[in-house]
Chain A
Amino acid sequence: MTQVRFVGQRFAAMVIIVLALAAAVFALQKMSPLDPVHARLGGQASQGAIAAERHALGLDKPIVTQFGHYLAGLVHGDLGDSYRTRRPVTTDLLAYVPATAELAASGLIIALVLAIAFAFASTLRVPGAALFRLGLMLGASVPTFLLGVFGILLFYQHFGWLPASGRTSIGNAPTGPTHLLTLDGLLHGRPDVTWDAIKHLLMPATAIALGPAVAIGRVLRSSLEGELGSDYVRTARAKGRSERQILLGHVVRNAIGAAVSMTGLQVGLMFAGVLVVEQVFGWPGLGLYIAESIPVADFPAIAGVTLLLGSAYVVINAAVDVIQAAADPRIRV
């Protein structure tokens, strides 16, 4: 019962925050000095045409009605039309999302692997852990775009191991059903496509992963060390279990909670990293879309990306909370 109630409360909070985000984006649109009618018709439009367009867009209605209209549109997946591409923003986003989703997911996997390696290596005092730790710390102080740039100079120009731009170098790569090249390659029985996609993902994904890896790794390490000092660990040691058994069998389950929360929070940082790193690697995703929209003040497009990434972040963090509550009943109290 409490479980159901917790999930319900978390879900309600999630909906409220997404609504607040929509309201904020709507308010920003209203505050913007750029007039959407002007943006659509250009400078030479006649008074009559402007009035007609205002009416067609519903801009002559009271602001509350406009907001209601806007929300109703959102529910139906209508984010308005882009000033630049003249297409519905939703259509544009659907074209760019898979590339970004694949990059962000790969970055998250790399961040988790590095964070776990970092936390365990320094808890178990593995030789060389200090060096590894220093490398990660330095990596986290370097801006994402510089990591990408160094990666290109080293692994593309110097060694020639990895490609420097785009998602794939294979011309007839499959275009469906998931639009994630790593998965589509496998589904179509084309391991070469998957392998090529992984090679393209490796550098940009690592560049966005280092910062979050350090943040998650730090939290995981400090909770591992905290748990290692507790009574049940002393009992397990007294029973003669090895450090390895204690760590994997007892400690990890108790220590993982804070790190999981941190992972959810780091997804926000990772989204920002994705937007930047896509410029460096010519990655055809949301970052490229938003970078092309910024100079021409294409607000509907920017608002669409903001709403999409913001909602994704809110949903991911709500899911993290629910999963954690299922794993550890103490959290629901």
Chain B
Amino acid sequence: MAVAEPFVAPRPAWRRPVSLDLRAPRTWSIIGASLFAVMTLIALAAPLLSPHDPLVPVGIPLAGPGHGGFLLGSDSIGRDVLSRCLYGMRASWFAALVVIAGGFLIGGLVGLVAGSSGGWIDNLLMRITDGFLALPAPVLAIAVVASLGPSFTHTLIAVSVVWWPFYARIVRGEISKLAARPHVEAARLAGAGRVRIAVRHLLPGALPAAVVTASLDVGNLVLALAGLSFLGLGQSAPAPELGADSARNLSLLLQQWWVPVVPGIAVAVLAVIANVAGDSVRNLIDPA
């Protein structure tokens, strides 16, 4: 007779006590992962950090970095590039987080339903997911925004629409692995309903993989959204937006390089922060 061995999960890394030993890689991972919180705080505090109003001309136009009281220069009508970048970073950061949350919720739900119900529901949902995954997401997003009309909200909707399938695949994979585990069978024998099994016994096991994926994805999204904004699929003209600010000022590149370059660097800074933080989250949750 087969005896089920007791399955004792090791205590996950993020539940172990925090030490401040700077030689331990885990300490660095915690510092790295906290960059998500730091960046969110900076984004929230953008109005306090900005020296000027991003929409109003406040000095001489096209002043170089460090001149005319502008740390990073001014643009063609005398607005502060630094303030515009801080507001733009705020918009990009929250946009990326919103799309991740959307993808996570929709994809997670689809993956959970598919993985826990099995049969034809699973088949149907996964075929739809595969269909989306078989198409180039950024190109599809462009078509969706174009049909809804260019606006910030529409861009967020469009990117969320093409971004969830990835999460559905991952959650579905985890769920179907978990569904064969003894604790799920035990719950079923104890009379737990399907919803209860899915939410209480399957979902918690699938979360770590989904969280790792999401945190590694923030950087990708920052770059993808900046690309769409660069193409003119974001907020309209006076709003500070990194990709669009760079695109609109490309003609100044050879004379006043800072006007198109600084917003681009701001995107790169966001992407690097997101990638470092994402890597750290992966190291914490899933130390391979």
Which A positions have Cβ atoms within 8 angstroms of B?
Answer: 13, 16-17, 20-21, 24-25, 28-29, 31-34, 138, 141-146, 149-150, 152-153, 157, 211, 267-269, 271-273, 275-276, 279-280, 287, 290-291, 293-295, 297, 299, 302-303, 305-306, 309-310, 313-314, 317
Contacts and interface: CB of A to CB of B under 8 A. Distances in A.
A279 B250 contact: yes
Given A141-B272, A290-B142, A306-B142, A268 B148 contact: no
Contact of A31 (B140, B147, B267, B271): B147
Contacts of B73: none
A86 B135 CA distance: 29
Interface of B: 131, 134-140, 142-144, 146-150, 219, 223-224, 226-227, 230-233, 243, 246-247, 250, 253-254, 257, 260-261, 264-265, 267-268, 271-272, 275
B264 A28 contact: no
B275 A306 contact: no
B135 A141 contact: no
A153 B230 CA distance: 19
Contacts of B271: 141-143
24 contacts: A16-B131, A21-B135, A28-B146, A29-B147, A31-B148, A32-B146, A141-B219, A141-B268, A143-B267, A149-B264, A150-B261, A268-B137, A268-B139, A271-B139, A272-B136, A275-B227, A276-B230, A291-B232, A294-B233, A295-B150, A297-B149, A310-B136, A310-B140, A314-B134
A297 B139 CA distance: 16
The 6 A-B residue pairs with the shortest CB-CB distance in the complex, in nearest-first order = A268-B136, A146-B264, A272-B138, A28-B147, A306-B143, A32-B147
A143 B272 CA distance: 11
A149 B243 CA distance: 12
A32 B246 CA distance: 28
Contacts of A279: 230-231, 247, 250
B287 to A, nearest CB: 17
B139 A309 contact: yes
Contact of B149 (A33, A291, A309): A33
Contacts, number: 145
B139 A145 contact: no
Given A29-B147, A279-B230, A306-B143, A141 B275 contact: yes
Contacts of A295: 150, 232
Nearest to B261: A149
A152 B144 CA distance: 32
Contacts of A268: 135-139
Contacts of B147: 28-29, 31-32, 299, 302
A10 B243 CA distance: 38
A225 to B, nearest CB: 14
Contacts of A143: 223, 226-227, 230, 243, 264, 267-268, 271
B247 A145 contact: yes
A67 to B, nearest CB: 16
A313 B232 CA distance: 23
Q: Which of A143, A293, A306 has the most CB of B within 10 A?
A: A143
A24 B232 CA distance: 22
Choose among B137, B147, B149 the residue with the greatest number of A CB atoms under 10 Å from its CB.
Answer: B147
A290 B272 contact: no
A269 B268 contact: no
Contacts of A299: 146-147
Nearest to A279: B247
Contacts of A273: 227
Given A143-B267, A149-B261, A157-B254, A271 B136 contact: yes
Nearest to A317: B134
A302 B227 contact: no
A278 to B, nearest CB: 10
Nearest to B138: A272
Contacts of B272: 138, 141
Contacts of B146: 28, 32, 293-294, 297, 299, 302-303
Contact of A313 (B139, B144, B243, B247): B139
B250 A280 contact: yes
Contacts of A150: 261
Nearest to B134: A17
Contacts of B219: 141
Contacts of B247: 145, 279
Contacts of B134: 13, 17, 314, 317
Among A29, A267, A279, which residue has the most Cβ atoms of chain B within 10 A?
A279
B150 to A, nearest CB: 7
A274 B226 CA distance: 14
Contact of A291 (B131, B231, B253, B261): B231
B170 to A, nearest CB: 15
